[in-house]
Structure 1
Amino acid sequence: MVCPSQTQPPNPNMPTFYCEYTILKNQQTRDACMTFFAGMTEADDQRELGKVNLLGRWSTIGEGRGFCIAEAPDAAAMSAWLSNWVPMADIYTVPVLTDNEHRAMILGKEPSYKVSYDMVSAAPKAGESLYFIKYKFHCGKRSEGFKAFASMTEEQDEADGGDCTSYGRWHVPSEGCGYAIASAPSAAAIYKWAYNWEPLCDCEIQGVTGDATTRAILRKAPGFAAKHAALMEQLGIETGPHHVTATFTMSSADKRAAFENILKSPTGLAKTRAAPGCHGVDVLQDPENPLVVVFQQKWARKSDWQTLFDERKASGMLDKVQEFGTLEIQHRTATKY
């Protein structure tokens, strides 16, 4: 499954990177960064990520810091994404290996079983919390730790976590350290898991929240909407939602039938509704004129609509459907009433 904040399924052919960020301590900068982040939508995330596939991101709001795991075709793509945030935060980045890659490296062959990474950005289980773990082998224990990890059977690996559910684990072999995200029913459960490795490594554990929860918490702060609107205006960034009314008047019943075939195709309404930033499309019929169809659309921002419109125009679809009749497009923004 692909979790809500995960942009694409994990790609084993792309390098994986770990990032740890700390928002700059200047209070004005921290406030602006948190407000900007909290106001972002999934469409915003997809736009700013570029070629990066964000697998998961977790925050510790009280410290103004957090962690993320992402895939990218190269370090340049990661840098391009992170350049959006470096004016507001210090960001440490390092390439990492999954359990499967790390075991293969240590063993010199493919491991006997593979660990799934399909739940990296999942919410915690009901009644549980998310915990982020950073481990580092004790001085002189790295080789022993590698062997202990690589020699585990699938049954031993699953039993090692006890009541905890690992959503993902990543390693930096050259530094003898690594990271993990897990759901656990209690602090005792997560510390018990870490204690299994106490003879070999130190573990730093923090309770964290994923993007959806972090944003929900920040948006509930008193005065958030006004603060966010003021920040967007200051930055000159368009805000939404944006409403579009497209009225199509067919020239004949035959033209309407042909138009409906396009609407039902994969490149028709389904493509519009799946487009980044589209919050929904209602198709309305004029009760007095069956040749008139109205499309009521809601978008996160006008630019989201414009991106799809330009794509339709470049593909020739817009010219094709206009052969069936006339199209009138109206743009509206929501009021404060």
Structure 2
Amino acid sequence: MALPASGPPPAGGAPPAILHRQLRLHLYRILDRLEAATARERAELEQERAALARHCEARATERETAARTTVAQLETRLAELEREVEVERRVRALLETRAAGPERPLAVSQAASDAAPSAPPLVAQGRAGDPDPSAADRGPLFSANEAAYRARRADPRLGGRSLGSKATEDVEVAFWLWRGLAGDRPMLDYTREEADDLRGDMLRMLASYGKGGPKREMRAKHGPRHWMEVADQRQRTIDQHNAALPEGHPDRKADVERMSLRTVKKHYTSLSGYWRWLEARKVLPRGTNIFSEWDWPGTKGWHDDRDADLNLLLRSSWFGADRRGTDH
């Protein structure tokens, strides 16, 4: 027998058994809907939990990667500081040895001794036989001690770079620029005004001639003023080409790329090092370095903070009061 549809009791009432069954079926339908809704909520909750777990795992991976990168950078910086400290220690030991008395040979291996180039003797006066009797009072010619300085920079006992490396090549280019633009003269004849003029002249050079400069055979054939004129001529040709074209035209050519101020600063550093070395060896009087204390706006890089960081480390309590560094 078919059950009556759920709803209000029929008029006139119904038997209690039928009402009881209808009520029970109605409750079952409600429970089914509740179970279905609970299952949906449970599924959505599981999805949210899985998404949260994936998000946390991704964030943990990102943090781990960032931490590993930071540790690698710190380890690299620490290695650089350790190399700087080792070079400083060697230089100080050498200076203390020389200040204590007659020079004694450094305790180096036979291989290092064989690799160290023999430095020519220093020249402390002007050109021998110079007809000008005051030449001796104006110091040696600029070129007189170049070979000795480059040999000193290449000495492996002082942490030097080998001859022919980029570092020594940069020094050779800086000396070539100065000789070609200011002349090979007694060093005390040079003035800071000439050093200032050098900065403007260098900025006229082609950029490619600042990064290592022209090759050695090119430097032997022409001086820097020739290459400055080459750069100016290229710019004039470009200006003539662009004069007939409007701004933004695709056929317009870019200006000649000139030597940057950062590269000029590098050459000044090389020349200043030469002066400081001759002052330390008492070939030149103290305070005659015309390449020191110049301003270089916009050229500071991360490596410029290295000396300050090293001095801070040497002054720290890690090294003890008797081993702290100075700002010199």
Taking structure 2 as the reference length, what is the TM-score of the superposition? Answer: 0.22
- Larger gyration radius, structure 1 or structure 2: 2
Give the number of the structure with larger relative contact order, counting CA–CA contacts within 8 Å between residues 6 or more apart.
Answer: 1
More strand by share: 1
More helix by share: 2
Taking structure 1 as the reference length, what is the TM-score of the superposition? Answer: 0.22
